[in-house]
Structure 1
Amino acid sequence: MFPFQTQLNKICFSNNHLFILLLCCIFNSSLHAQTSFQPKKFDSLLLKKTESLRIQGDYENLVRLNKDYLNIAEENKYKEGVILCYINISNISATIGNYKRGLSYLSLAEKELKAVDSHVLKARLYQEHAQLNYVIGLYKSALEFNAKGLYYLKSTSESDKRKYYLYRLYANRAECLYKANKTDSAYIYLQKGQKVDSRGVLLNTLLAKHHLLYTKRLDSALIYLQKASQKIVNTGKVNVQSGFVYLTYGDYYYELKDYNTALSYYKKALDNYNKTNRLYNIPGAYESIANTYKMLNEPEKEAEARQRYREEKVDLENIQNEAINISIDQMLNDKDEESLGFEKKIYLFGSVIIILCVIIFLLLYTHNRSLRQRKNEFKSEALSLKSKINDSFDELVNLAKKNDSTFLTRFQEIYPDFCPKLLEINSKLGASELAFCAMIKLNFTSKEIAEYTFIQHKSVQQKKHRLRKKLDVPSDQELFIFFDSL
């Protein structure tokens, strides 16, 4: 062999070794990357960083963070991580008023979630659906999504995540219930939320607002506002939670008739909402400012603030209407998909169904006359019974509204088992207490009971509290549900 050829072989041999060594390094590096990826660490870090940037209102870096994590999740084929990033981006979009993009990312998350069995992610998805429906004014849909979120969250074994999301779902449900004029139920969910997170800014501020609007206990409102303020750390950066606290402080001083202090807090709230691009909250801040200028007898400034309120409200309504249309379209698409799936099943089992239909047809044909007669009799009886029930219920409601003395007697005739069952629990209940229980069973609100029985709203609350003790009803169970179950 020539020396040149020998040298060439050595070089080739050496290069082959280097190539193999390089492949090994790449393989080991890839293997290390795969083994070092930890889903739990991915989730906890993403949630922690997202929450920190969200509170600062740093939406640009917040989107960038979630897109980076989305790439990591996709590279590692971590479906749960992909879904979490989609939901986070949806939340960011909805927060700054881009409801269309928010719904779009929720739709992506929902499609991915069909292949994943995660109760936590389902709860989070429905939470975001509920929050988005709330801000665009679809309160009934929001409550339905919220109920689904609570169902999935309570059935999960991941206690840390359940606690992290639970108080948010409770707070969201309370806000929806306020819009539905169910203040007592809303207050119960606020208390539930506070048990989970007693120092949370959102819940303490909502509790303060409850006392300002409904109980008029200004001292209690101030206590909750102070708790909320303590949680907000002043880092010199914008804090998105501050806006709601400032606005509620403004309401507090407005109730005290200290309008100048109220105005300063309303302006702080507006400044915070503008800096954090909280479009949903801006019209309300302008309205509060306008009302305060009215009390300060400054008509020009009031008119200016009122004009800004109208402009912002129109802009927000345009965005909301577009989101509502998209939301309705999505619901219709879901129905279409369900219908398509049903049609496929019919096609697959068509031959079996045809045979069954033929058999059923023959049976029906032989008994057609008797079946029609029975059906007509049943329909007639059902309509008669339904008419009687509706008439009886309307009669009871009218008697209650008139505060008629025969209300309880007539109620016992229509619901003969109700009062005896209550007396089994507590035999010392008087007629007035039984009548009060009857009104709750008929789903009268505290406000309506106060109006029709000529007592104060506060007295109704006290009566409910005493009834809970006498009937041993847990504080977290609604009286209406308890009585309805009887």
Structure 2
Amino acid sequence: MTSVCGQQNKGDSLKTELSIASEGHKIGILLQLSQYFINVNVDTAMAYGERAMHLAEESKIPIDLARANSQLARIKLITAAYDDALDHLLKAENILMEQDPVDRNELLRVYSNLGSIYERQDELKKSLPYFERAIALLDQLDREANAKTPSPLHAPLLNNMANTLIKMGDTAKAILCHKKGLQYAMAAHDYFHAGNLLNNLGKLYLEQNKIAEAYLHLHQGRVLRKQNQDDRGLASSCRNLALYFMKQQNADSAKHYIAQSIKLYNQIGEMTEPLSGVYMILSEVYLTEKKYDSALISYKLHVVYKDSIYSGDKFKDIARVEAKYEMIKKAQQEKAIQESKEIKTILFICALVAGLIILLLFFAVQRFRSKNQKLQYEQLKLREEKLLTEQQHLQLELDYKRKDIAAQMLFLLKKDELIHKISERIGSVKDEVPSEVQPKLQRITKELHGISKRNDGSWQEFELRFKEVHQDFYAHLEAQFPELTPKERRLCALLKLNMTTKEISSITHQSTRSLEVARTRLRKKLNLTNSEIGLVDFLSKY
């Protein structure tokens, strides 16, 4: 709570400073506000960054222009607008390299962000050298300053470098980078980056099925991010905790963290890429619960967000072409004021050609998007057919088990009926045989009765098969009516199978009268004494 209040006070303090600051100091405060809101609300962070850029362009101070471009690049990186981010960073790098002396601290941030952009675009051979260059520059700055403690920038640099190493397949080295970065962050009391590193370590351990280590790091990362009011980081932690609980087959906890993650991403603003991943996790959770309709809905949302990322990127490309064309057009129009009508004619032709190119690009993108949507629809259709096949398979398996139980009961009936007939035949001829044989017949009859009564093995097998089909029957019955005896629960199972009194009597060796009394007692325990509901109908609900 103290950390959250501190964060809020920092934001309010910066706003107050901005309201009273001179024009020369506003750019720095705007950039601080943009950085403050980058993990709270991306749109607000972008607004402050663009205000800073506008003032920097008016002042034409190189270092302010470089810093404004660098900050806008960070925001574009978060919103997955990688081409825009790269443009801003390359501008910042060019401005910085033209200065004498070079602002190495700002150059360090540019190198770090360039490494992150190339990592996101999977250009790993470009990404890793930028991170290595940034770390070398940071070490140099620490040595020159004779710093007693390492710079806090070590933590985010090592974290981002580890992401590149993961994609390159060097997981062991990535874990070492994360651990080293975590040590730097904790030593510098940099709990923001400590939260990032804990979250990334937890995710790596989860992928390696190191469950205990995964939960420990994910949980600690979530706590730190919550304390620091890092909503974007907290949303990522919740998403990874959902993955953890899905692996643990704890669907309720997984859905709880998914709901928190979705809520946080929606509060932050433009976060279509992570939302697509969260809905994919939710779809998989519903599949484990066999909630196929909910799984399909979640998967469709995943596709919608994924498609919006693709569409957004393509239209950004068109917008970028238009923006560059407008800049060229503006420059040519300014020049055309002092030139001849022939140049104006050429400019008009260029404008017409550029317009046609833009139009062709637009139609090409629309056509490609239409094909992509058709492909997504076909994939969804195939998934629906697969789910339907699985449902039919489960239904067939259930029907088979029901028939198996019926066959088991029929076997019990036939066995007892055969024993009973043999006993009757022996009894009918007992008086006709010599007296010395009669005791033997008497013992045989007694043994047959004993076999008929010793059905415990058959009952155990019956109950095992019964539970396979009606898994929660006994559990629900005992939870609502704990006073039922084992014989009464067994009677409930036979009634659940819709067996007649005569069939139950043959199996349990009870008289019809005894069974009627048992049924009356059972109705009383089930609170059906004054009800017209039959036992079979009542038990069919369980």
Report the TM-score range of the alignment, normalised by the length of the smaller protein.
0.5 to 0.7
Query: In 2, are the aligned partners of 1:290 and 1:306 still within 8 Å (CA)?
Result: yes
Corresponding residue of 2:288: 295
**What amino acid maps onto 1:144 in structure 2?**
P
Question: Take 2:64 and 2:72, find their aligned partners in 1: how far apart are those partners?
Answer: 12
Corresponding residue of 2:197: 203
Question: Take 2:163 and 2:109, find their aligned partners in 1: how far apart are those partners?
Answer: 17
> Could you list the per-position Cα deviations for residues 1-23 of structure 1 after superposition, in whole angstroms to 9, with x for gaps in the alignment?
xxxxxxxxxxxxxxxxxxxxxxx
Aligned to 1:55, the other structure's residue is in SS state: coil
Corresponding residue of 2:63: 80
1:213 paired with 2:198, answer no
**What amino acid maps onto 1:153 in structure 2?**
L
Corresponding residue of 2:159: 171
> Following TM superposition, by how much is the alpha carbon of 1:179 offset from its aligned partner in structure 2, in angstroms?
1.5
Aligned to 1:56, the other structure's residue is in SS state: coil
> Following TM superposition, by how much is the alpha carbon of 1:267 offset from its aligned partner in structure 2, in angstroms?
2.8
Aligned to 2:266, the other structure's residue is in SS state: helix
Count how many residue pairs are aligned between Structure 1 and Structure 2: 288
Question: Take 1:297 and 1:147, find their aligned partners in 2: how far apart are those partners?
Answer: 48
Question: Take 1:291 and 1:228, find their aligned partners in 2: how far apart are those partners?
Answer: 24
Larger Rg, first or second structure (1 or 2): 2
Question: Take 2:315 and 2:133, find their aligned partners in 1: how far apart are those partners?
Answer: 25
Corresponding residue of 1:52: 36
> Could you list the per-position Cα deviations for residues 207-236 of structure 1 after superposition, in whole angstroms to 9, with x for gaps in the alignment?
11122111x33332232223223323469x
Query: In 2, are the aligned partners of 1:156 and 1:162 still within 8 Å (CA)?
Result: no
Corresponding residue of 2:249: 257
1:285 paired with 2:270, answer no
> Following TM superposition, by how much is the alpha carbon of 1:262 offset from its aligned partner in structure 2, in angstroms?
0.5
Q: Which runs of 5+ in 1 are unaligned?
A: 1-32, 328-486
1:115 paired with 2:98, answer yes
Question: Take 1:208 and 1:225, find their aligned partners in 2: how far apart are those partners?
Answer: 5
Query: In 1, are the aligned partners of 2:31 and 2:52 still within 8 Å (CA)?
Result: no
Corresponding residue of 1:273: 265
Q: TM-score, normalised by structure 2?
A: 0.47
**What amino acid maps onto 2:121 in structure 1?**
I
Within-5 A mapping of 1:302-313: 302-313=295-306
Structure with the larger RCO, 1 or 2 (CA within 8 Å, 6+ apart): 1
Question: Take 1:257 and 1:80, find their aligned partners in 2: how far apart are those partners?
Answer: 53
Q: Which runs of 5+ in 2 are unaligned?
A: 1-20, 321-542
**What amino acid maps onto 1:258 in structure 2?**
N
> Could you list the per-position Cα deviations for residues 62-98 of structure 1 after superposition, in whole angstroms to 9, with x for gaps in the alignment?
2332334345555666422321111111111232233
Query: In 2, are the aligned partners of 1:136 and 1:323 still within 8 Å (CA)?
Result: no
Question: Take 2:30 and 2:150, find their aligned partners in 1: how far apart are those partners?
Answer: 16
CA pair 163-318 structure 1, distance change in 2 beyond 3 A: farther
Corresponding residue of 2:168: 180
> Could you list the per-position Cα deviations for residues 157-176 of structure 1 after superposition, in whole angstroms to 9, with x for gaps in the alignment?
46699734321111111112
CA pair 212-144 structure 1, distance change in 2 beyond 3 A: same
> Following TM superposition, by how much is the alpha carbon of 1:181 offset from its aligned partner in structure 2, in angstroms?
1.7
> Could you list the per-position Cα deviations for residues 34-56 of structure 1 after superposition, in whole angstroms to 9, with x for gaps in the alignment?
9x968xx976x566433321121
Question: Take 2:202 and 2:74, find their aligned partners in 1: how far apart are those partners?
Answer: 25
How many percent identity over aligned positions?
15
Q: TM-score, normalised by structure 1?
A: 0.52
Corresponding residue of 1:446: none
CA pair 133-142 structure 1, distance change in 2 beyond 3 A: same
Corresponding residue of 1:342: none
**What amino acid maps onto 1:281 in structure 2?**
P
> Could you list the per-position Cα deviations for residues 179-224 of structure 1 after superposition, in whole angstroms to 9, with x for gaps in the alignment?
222110110110111011134211111111122111x333322322
Aligned to 2:39, the other structure's residue is in SS state: helix
1:132 paired with 2:120, answer no
CA pair 162-320 structure 1, distance change in 2 beyond 3 A: farther
Question: Take 1:169 and 1:279, find their aligned partners in 2: how far apart are those partners?
Answer: 25
CA pair 173-294 structure 1, distance change in 2 beyond 3 A: same
Aligned to 2:151, the other structure's residue is in SS state: helix
Corresponding residue of 2:52: 69
